Structure 1
Amino acid sequence: MKVDTMRWVDHYVGVPLCFLLKLVFWPFDRIHKGQKTVSNNVLLIELSEMGSAILADPSMRWLKGQGKTLHFVIFEKNVTSLQLLNTIHRDNTFLIKPDNLFSLAISSLKFLIWCRKKKIDTVIDLELFSRFTAILSRLCGASNRTGFDRVHEEGLYRGNHLTHPVMYNPYSHISKNFMTLVRASQNTPYQPYQKEIFDESIQLARAEVSSDLRSSVITKLKSLYVAFEPGVQRLVLVNPNASDLLPQRRWMKDRYVDVIRTLLAEYPDILVVITGAPSERPEAEILRQRVKHERCLNSAGVFKFKELVPLYSLSELMLSNDSGPPHFASVTELKTFVIFGPETPALYGALGNSTPIYAGLPCSPCVSAANHRKTSCEDNQCLKAIDSRQVLDLLRPALDNSLILKAG
């Protein structure tokens, strides 16, 4: 299903459904208002953003530390992001299929049955004001329901079904907003504002590197560049992709070409590896052909998702658009340099060893929770304002420093 179709359904179908469910459950809510319930089996909902599943991991590990049994529901195409750190057991993960309205409805009904089998008593909606997830939260049978709420703000109505409504803070990093939600879900009495400092809790775990997968990655790299030897050539990863959710995040291809050509000319020991999913291979190939250099490799579709961690562990740095890979890389020590435009790193910057590249124009960010991350911008000057020279000035010191360490 197309992203705009999902947004349309969420608004024009979701709003009236949320209102009707509020009327239906009103007597029940009045009777049970103020009653304390136990929180043991916790369900987290984050459907659409693979990167957000990584950013929520510190919050999930905090819940596990409280002795809670965790469950997760996510769109089928995004589940691999959950498997990087394996905080949630696979048997406790439910996949919703959004291919079309029929598959979405059927998998949603199966999800509601699954929730009862798992005896879910607490649900935490990590989505930003989605009516669809509000409906799932209401119908899943959980007596404790936590999610972002407008509190005193206007708009973004989704039925007032929450027992623990929490104010979304648009000035705080999303990982802190997630931590606010999970902590509020366990507080009795709770309050919609977080008045506790927990920066030390916002730390990502490090993923383990499988020796077998590392060997597989090396073999595949040698198939792309026969002379590759770990420790001899340094790998520079380039991710020029961004999901269809927000295509305005893509930096200009000609500037990627300029950066790659310059790096290859200045550093004879590096290999530039263009990464991406199988569907992104044709675009990656166009970029490789424009660079036209034997040390520029197209690996889109070559590596399986489970091979990303060993690939990152072998690499020197990554240059990327604001998309999933920098968040995946944040579970390793890899240095990432991430180009931001329609979104701001203050809210969605990767938690790892990451450097944001951001022009900070007055119109940026133009996407937010209030507009469901949809912008009418057709001229992303926020990215055009970032030139290749600026990016190279950030990449060169990282490569120079690693060369000194390598020589020493």
Structure 2
Amino acid sequence: MALKLDTRKLQIIDRLIGVPLCASLTLVRRLIGDRFVPEKVEVPGKVLFVKLAEQGSTVLAYPAISRAIQVVGRENVFFLVFEENRFILDAMGIIPHENVITIRHKQPLELAWQALRALMRVRRERLDAAVDLEFFSRGSAVLTFLSGARQRVGFHTFFGDGPYRGDLMTHRLSYNPYLHTSQIFLLMVAALEQPVPRSGKLSIPVPQIEKWVPDFAPAASEQEQVRSLLQRETGNDGEPQIVLLNPNASDLLPLRKWPADRYVSLARRLLDAFPEIYIGLTGAPDEAGPIEAMVQEIGSPRCFSLAGKTTLRQLLVLYTLSELLITNDSGPAHFAAMTQVHTLTLFGPETPALFGARTPRAITIWQGLACSPCVNAYNNRQSSCTNNVCMQKITVDRVFDEASKVYLARSTKHEILR
């Protein structure tokens, strides 16, 4: 049976193969020399962003992509991404469809072939600059180096302060853990417009961000399709008040999970407090079983499962028809930020100071324990923790109180508008 690649296996490949590859290419770079001098400013003609994984982080890159478009034009901005993550770029609608270059990675041989194929396409574009948006991934550093771009921006470990990824960038930047991720990404584009010394110190003010996320605007036909789905699931032919819970019932990110029984208790309390609402539980197709079990445990005709019943784009459309989304720190929190739905995001092993959505409708709950955040760029987003107390400390009472405030405020606003 062929080996399927999940996040953990990709990290192992990145370490076992990526480290020697980065070391070898660094030696090649030093032998052939690098003609570009980063202290000298050259305005690029074509720019490639490399962000293979994490759909939510792609949304956080919106200000950086917008700045690149201002500098070189929309038609000259490209994006290299894993195929399963391209949908969010299409939903953002900021990069031309044909400029999104994808890599399939279900199996190791497929990953190798697809990476080679993507590089051939990238090199045909004769890019001037490449921006590696991965924090300390070796694979993305290799792809950035082999892209053929004369200017290459990426993070560098100057004193062993992060995972080794060689010396493959012309613009070697120090990672600043005190800036929001969107600001960090924007500074990487700013590096192309500034002299960058070999020390990696970009001595410019942190740029102000006026618009943090794009606006998702579905077609009327898309909304009607999802509205019909909601009417079938709720049995309500009108426009039911929808509150969404995203339990993240898979095993991919166990540290970020809020216990399933908390979602059950929360749903019951919300249904009791607000008899007009319906609660939908969302999830991927492989979460359909666990999600349905939670719905059965909640035991209300006003609670239903949407796991596996929508495409990812329809999920965004669903947010436009809902009042509130309650989720852990995951992609849906960032997808929802592109719509008018309010979000309540539960943080634990990571901090909202770096990864929280920055919109007026985004609310975060974080306990701020001494051991949290334990997942960061320096440890390659891995942790030795096996007991996520940071998430378990978040009580149902606290989430219910916050959710009630948000829902009541929205309901009041709706009444005023009527």
- Calculate the TM-score normalised by the size of structure 1: 0.95
Shift of 1:402: 2.5
Which amino acid letter does the alignment assign opposite residue 53 of structure 1?
A: T
Aligned residues of 1:175 and 1:202 also touching (Cα < 8 A):
no
Residue in structure 1 matched with residue 296 of structure 2 by the alignment: 289
Please show how residues 71-90 of structure 1 align to structure 2 within 5 Å: 71-90=78-97
Cα deviation per residue 1:21-48 (whole Å; 9 max; x = unaligned)? 1111213325554676551111001111
Say how many residue pairs are matched: 406
SS in 2 for 1:66: helix
SS in 2 for 1:310: helix
2:217 to 208, 223, 234: 208
Shift of 1:275: 1.0
1:185 to 186, 192, 207: 192
Which amino acid letter does the alignment assign opposite residue 56 of structure 1?
A: A
**Is residue 274 of structure 2 the alignment partner of residue 267 of structure 1?**
yes
- Quote the Cα distance in structure 2 between the aligned partners of 1:30 and 1:403: 60
**For residues 243 and 52 of structure 1, do their structure 2 counterparts lie closer, same or farther at Cα, with a shift above 3 Å needed?**
farther
SS in 1 for 2:161: coil
Residue in structure 2 matched with residue 370 of structure 1 by the alignment: 378
SS in 1 for 2:343: strand
Aligned residues of 2:42 and 2:192 also touching (Cα < 8 A):
no
- Quote the Cα distance in structure 1 between the aligned partners of 2:22 and 2:59: 29
Residue in structure 1 matched with residue 59 of structure 2 by the alignment: 54
- Quote the Cα distance in structure 1 between the aligned partners of 2:250 and 2:52: 14
Q: Which one is further off, 253-262 or 296-305?
A: 296-305
- Quote the Cα distance in structure 1 between the aligned partners of 2:274 and 2:265: 14
- Quote the Cα distance in structure 2 between the aligned partners of 1:73 and 1:178: 15
- Quote the Cα distance in structure 1 between the aligned partners of 2:37 and 2:409: 60
- Quote the Cα distance in structure 2 between the aligned partners of 1:24 and 1:250: 43
2:321 to 291, 306, 314: 314
Shift of 1:2: 2.7
Structure 1: stretches of 5+ with no match in the other structure? none
- Quote the Cα distance in structure 2 between the aligned partners of 1:385 and 1:258: 15
1:25 to 22, 29, 53: 29
**For residues 135 and 323 of structure 1, do their structure 2 counterparts lie closer, same or farther at Cα, with a shift above 3 Å needed?**
same
- Quote the Cα distance in structure 2 between the aligned partners of 1:152 and 1:404: 54
The share of aligned pairs that are identical, in percent, is 35
**Is residue 234 of structure 2 the alignment partner of residue 229 of structure 1?**
no
Aligned residues of 1:37 and 1:143 also touching (Cα < 8 A):
no
Residue in structure 1 matched with residue 9 of structure 2 by the alignment: 5
Aligned residues of 1:164 and 1:184 also touching (Cα < 8 A):
yes
Which amino acid letter does the alignment assign opposite residue 334 of structure 1?
A: V
Aligned residues of 2:63 and 2:209 also touching (Cα < 8 A):
no
- Quote the Cα distance in structure 1 between the aligned partners of 2:61 and 2:408: 34
Which amino acid letter does the alignment assign opposite residue 229 of structure 2?
A: K
**For residues 399 and 188 of structure 1, do their structure 2 counterparts lie closer, same or farther at Cα, with a shift above 3 Å needed?**
same
Which amino acid letter does the alignment assign opposite residue 274 of structure 1?
A: L
Shift of 1:178: 0.4
Shift of 1:242: 6.6
Cα deviation per residue 1:348-390 (whole Å; 9 max; x = unaligned)? 1012321111111111111111111111211111011111001
**Is residue 138 of structure 2 the alignment partner of residue 131 of structure 1?**
yes
Residue in structure 1 matched with residue 205 of structure 2 by the alignment: 196
Structure 2: stretches of 5+ with no match in the other structure? none
- Quote the Cα distance in structure 1 between the aligned partners of 2:385 and 2:29: 40
- Quote the Cα distance in structure 2 between the aligned partners of 1:242 and 1:39: 44
- Calculate the TM-score normalised by the size of structure 2: 0.93
Q: Which one is further off, 221-230 or 335-344?
A: 221-230
